[in-house]
A and B are shown apart, each in its own frame.
Chain A
Amino acid sequence: MNMRIVIAAASLAVLSSTAHAGCGINAGSVRIGGNDFPAIQAVSGAAKACDGGGVTVSVDLNKDHKDRQVAALTANPAEFTTSIINNSALVALMNDGLAQPLDDLIAKHGKDLQAMQKVTIDGKVMAVAFMANAQHLFYRKDILDKAGVGVPSTYEEVLAAAKAIKDKGLMDYPIAGTYSGWNLGLEFINMYHGHGGEFFKSGSAEPSVNNAKGVATLKMMKALTAYMNPDFLTYDSNAVQADWEAGNVALTNLWGSRAGAVTDGEGSTAEIESNTMFASAPTVAGQSIPATTLWWDGFAIAKNASGADAEATFITMMNGISPEMAAANVDAAPWLIKGAVPQPTDAGVLASAQGGAKPYPMLPYMGAMHSAASAEIVDFLQGKESAEQALADLEAAYIAAAKEKGFL
């Protein structure tokens, strides 16, 4: 909660130091829509400083932004000239052709951008990324030491460590995981990636998860749940974080954006916080890449925005994601912005990325696969059906959805 004040103060500082109304834009209407969390508040706060002198900048942040953005950008003129999105939400815009290529605008106004920030699809820059995120390993150093095990780098070691902790009576449920709803689908995707699995037959939308790797993925997830609180199917990130801060858990695969929250001097004891460490997501089944998916947040510009508005929006957003903004809000996120200095809380995300973890697939039909996974593997984890049956159900649910969307 303190973080929010820091950010507010920091964005004020940015406002006062760089505030020259209009940011050199003469005219245009800039309408920013996005999710509502501190890093985006920092970006949109800095962008808002361009308001005035002929250009109007309005910001509308909403927790459910992803549910309204397609309708908002389909309208002509678009309700929002820019939508702040992540890699999964960009697919929704791409599927309907609602984002415009940014190459010309970057050539004119985007000299500060790093090459890695440009999200390029088929040779055209469709979005500009400004922060990264990923689920990675959180571990309790003191507990691992007491159990006499090292920092696990594979899921097999995670299981061994959990067993050691439990056998020593240090904790009843040493592992926690985000295993409810959408999160469960993502855990499956992460683990299946880790096993080197492919979700689709190459070049098509035909599912291909009902195979040995899929079964191994489910078996590993089930093995992990044996060391989790029996309520694991209701655990979202909030529950995992609360369990972590209460000191009930020694190992978890949680979002990098929560690393700051578990070490912020609130909600936990100094002992737990000082022993909370971050590392790359573990690998699994002898494969080399971490079993996680990498995410970015960035902005895209609406196709249904006029040329002048699009240009004004781009310049405004470049001010929003300026190096000064990143420097003033170092704690808010692992910024991808030039000159941003990695913080200790970013260690896990960086290590996972360096370890070769894959980005969350930007396939038009990935969302259908994700939803199907969230819903259909529950029965297996509850012990009601076999892994093969769960995977067959997953494929069947996906096929029905993909047919309706016209992918099959």
Chain B
Amino acid sequence: MARTVPTWLSILSLGFLVLWLLLAAFPFFWTLWGSFKVEADFFSKQNWTNAIFGVRTLAETGAHYTGAGYEGAWIKEEFWKASINTLVMTISVVAISLTLGTLGGYALSRSPFRYAFWILIIALVFRAMPHITLVSGYLFPFFELNLWGHLTTTIIVMVAINQPFTLWMLHSFFLNIPKDLDESALVDGCTRFQAFRYVIIPVMWPGVITTGLFSFLLAYNDFALTGLLLTEENQTMVPAIAGFLGSTQQQGNVMYAVAAVVSATAPLFVLVMFFQRQIVSGLTAGAVKG
């Protein structure tokens, strides 16, 4: 049905949105642009317009743009290795998190007993633990048991740390799937697993994809765990980027980091565009019960 919208409201709403998009996306475009300059321009202490006009870039490289950051990160520092590790890690974390989370979340949503509620509350309290404390607790046992440094270990730890959030989201999502669905399957003689397999799995995808998005972002952006629990060989992108930044005593290659960050964002663009419909419809169904 046709709704008439007052012009002033349209303008206000559009203006607000443009302002928001500017705030949200501008730093990224600034970075994208700056990644083709030298450090003295992008991180200029003289004048920020240097980052636009590339004054030092011209002086140092003879051109207005330079791909040195990308070349350094991807070829010299072999950033592609880190991106393969990230790919392996994020896919595994998302897959395992969702498998454990859907099973657990489904059980929590279908249990009539009070302990199910308490498990949820305890999971929430678990989530309050600062990650830094957890990581320093892991270090010694992992070294002693020879578990340290492997991607597998980090993946399992990350799945565990992510479980409370996954359980909560999926639990509220399953609450929205009518109980009659699987209960009628039970009446028809299915076991719980069969009911879950043939009745619930086909209708749960939107919620799973949304939860997957947040698991993905967590695994993709994590530094607290990946920074200390992986060997150089197994490093994922974020600790590799941190390695470019240098330390108190040593200058780093900040432009490598900038180029790496920009190139790490491109696959996410594809991902979000691809899944946008599911992300939105998934969130619709899940989380509503809070």
**Chain A residues closer than 8 Å to B45, beta-carbon distance:** 239, 242-243, 245-246, 248
**Chain A residues closer than 8 Å to B136, beta-carbon distance:** 67, 71
A62 to B228, CA, bound (A): 8
**Is A371 at the interface (CB under 8 A from chain B)?**
no
How many A residues have CB within 8 A of the partner chain?
47
A242 to B39, CA, bound (A): 9
Task: Select from chain A the residue with minimum beta-carbon distance to B252.
Answer: A238
Q: Which of A34-42, A149-157, A308-316, A391-399 contacts B (4 or more CB under 8 A)?
A: A34-42
Q: Which of A64, A76, A255 contacts B248 (CB 8 A)?
A: A255
**Is A167 at the interface (CB under 8 A from chain B)?**
no
Q: Which of B44, B46, B247 contacts A35 (CB 8 A)?
A: B247
Whether A64 and B227, one on each chain, are in contact in the complex, defined by CB atoms closer than 8 angstroms, is yes
Whether A67 and B143, one on each chain, are in contact in the complex, defined by CB atoms closer than 8 angstroms, is no
A239 to B136, CA, bound (A): 29
A258 to B56, CA, bound (A): 20
Per the 8 Å Cβ criterion, residues 17-57 of B in contact with A are 38-40, 43-46, 56
Task: Select from chain A the residue with minimum beta-carbon distance to B50.
Answer: A246
Per the 8 Å Cβ criterion, residues 217-239 of A in contact with B are 236-239
**Is B249 at the interface (CB under 8 A from chain A)?**
yes
Whether B38 and A266, one on each chain, are in contact in the complex, defined by CB atoms closer than 8 angstroms, is yes
A331 to B44, CA, bound (A): 26
**Chain A residues closer than 8 Å to B231, beta-carbon distance:** 60
Report if A63-B242 is in contact (Cβ < 8 Å); known contacts: A75-B144, A261-B251, A267-B56: yes
Whether B248 and A236, one on each chain, are in contact in the complex, defined by CB atoms closer than 8 angstroms, is yes
Task: Select from chain B the residue with minimum beta-carbon distance to A242.
Answer: B45
A261 to B247, CA, bound (A): 13
Range, interface on chain B? 35 or more
A1 to B60, CA, bound (A): 12
Per the 8 Å Cβ criterion, residues 243-260 of A in contact with B are 243, 245-248, 255, 257-258
**Is A133 at the interface (CB under 8 A from chain B)?**
yes
Report if A38-B144 is in contact (Cβ < 8 Å); known contacts: A63-B242, A267-B40, A267-B56: no
**Chain A residues closer than 8 Å to B39, beta-carbon distance:** 266-267
Whether B227 and A238, one on each chain, are in contact in the complex, defined by CB atoms closer than 8 angstroms, is no
**Is A74 at the interface (CB under 8 A from chain B)?**
yes
Contact string against B for A residues 332-343, beta-carbon threshold 8 Å, 1 for contact and 0 otherwise? 000000000000
Whether B228 and A247, one on each chain, are in contact in the complex, defined by CB atoms closer than 8 angstroms, is no
**Chain B residues closer than 8 Å to A36, beta-carbon distance:** 243
Q: Which of A74, A248, A265, A267 contacts B140 (CB 8 A)?
A: A74
A196 to B231, CA, bound (A): 43
Task: Select from chain B the residue with minimum beta-carbon distance to A260.
Answer: B251
- Nearest-neighbour CB distance to chain B for A188, whole angstroms, equals 15
Contact string against B for A residues 37-64, beta-carbon threshold 8 Å, 1 for contact and 0 otherwise? 1100000000000000000000111111
A62 to B72, CA, bound (A): 18
Report if A37-B139 is in contact (Cβ < 8 Å); known contacts: A243-B45, A266-B38: no
- Nearest-neighbour CB distance to chain A for B234, whole angstroms, equals 10
Report if A246-B232 is in contact (Cβ < 8 Å); known contacts: A35-B247, A266-B38, A267-B38: no
Task: Select from chain B the residue with minimum beta-carbon distance to A5.
Answer: B76
A74 to B149, CA, bound (A): 16
A46 to B105, CA, bound (A): 53
Whether B76 and A63, one on each chain, are in contact in the complex, defined by CB atoms closer than 8 angstroms, is no
Whether B247 and A258, one on each chain, are in contact in the complex, defined by CB atoms closer than 8 angstroms, is no
Q: Which of B233, B247, B255 contacts A63 (CB 8 A)?
A: B247
Whether B143 and A75, one on each chain, are in contact in the complex, defined by CB atoms closer than 8 angstroms, is yes
Report if A37-B246 is in contact (Cβ < 8 Å); known contacts: A5-B76, A72-B143, A79-B148: yes
Task: Select from chain B the residue with minimum beta-carbon distance to A256.
Answer: B249
**Is A4 at the interface (CB under 8 A from chain B)?**
yes
Contact string against A for B residues 80-112, beta-carbon threshold 8 Å, 1 for contact and 0 otherwise? 000000000000000000000000000000000
- Nearest-neighbour CB distance to chain B for A192, whole angstroms, equals 19
- Nearest-neighbour CB distance to chain B for A199, whole angstroms, equals 21
- Nearest-neighbour CB distance to chain B for A334, whole angstroms, equals 12
**Is B161 at the interface (CB under 8 A from chain A)?**
no
Whether B140 and A1, one on each chain, are in contact in the complex, defined by CB atoms closer than 8 angstroms, is no
Report if A74-B76 is in contact (Cβ < 8 Å); known contacts: A62-B243, A63-B247, A68-B228: no
Whether A64 and B228, one on each chain, are in contact in the complex, defined by CB atoms closer than 8 angstroms, is yes
Whether B140 and A246, one on each chain, are in contact in the complex, defined by CB atoms closer than 8 angstroms, is no
Other CB < 8 Å A-B pairs besides A60-B232, A238-B254, A248-B45, 7 of them?
A72-B139, A178-B248, A242-B45, A245-B45, A258-B249, A265-B60, A267-B56
Closest 5 CB pairs of A and B: A75-B143, A246-B45, A71-B139, A37-B250, A261-B251
User: Interface of B with A (CB < 8 Å)?
Assistant: 38-40, 43-46, 56, 59-60, 68, 72, 76, 136, 139-140, 143-144, 148-149, 227-228, 231-233, 239, 242-243, 245-255
Please name 23 pairs of A and B residues whose Cβ atoms are closer than 8 Å in the assembled complex, sorted by A: A1-B253, A1-B255, A38-B250, A60-B149, A60-B233, A62-B232, A62-B239, A63-B242, A63-B245, A74-B144, A75-B144, A79-B148, A238-B251, A238-B252, A238-B254, A248-B46, A258-B249, A267-B38, A267-B39, A267-B56, A268-B40, A269-B59, A295-B249
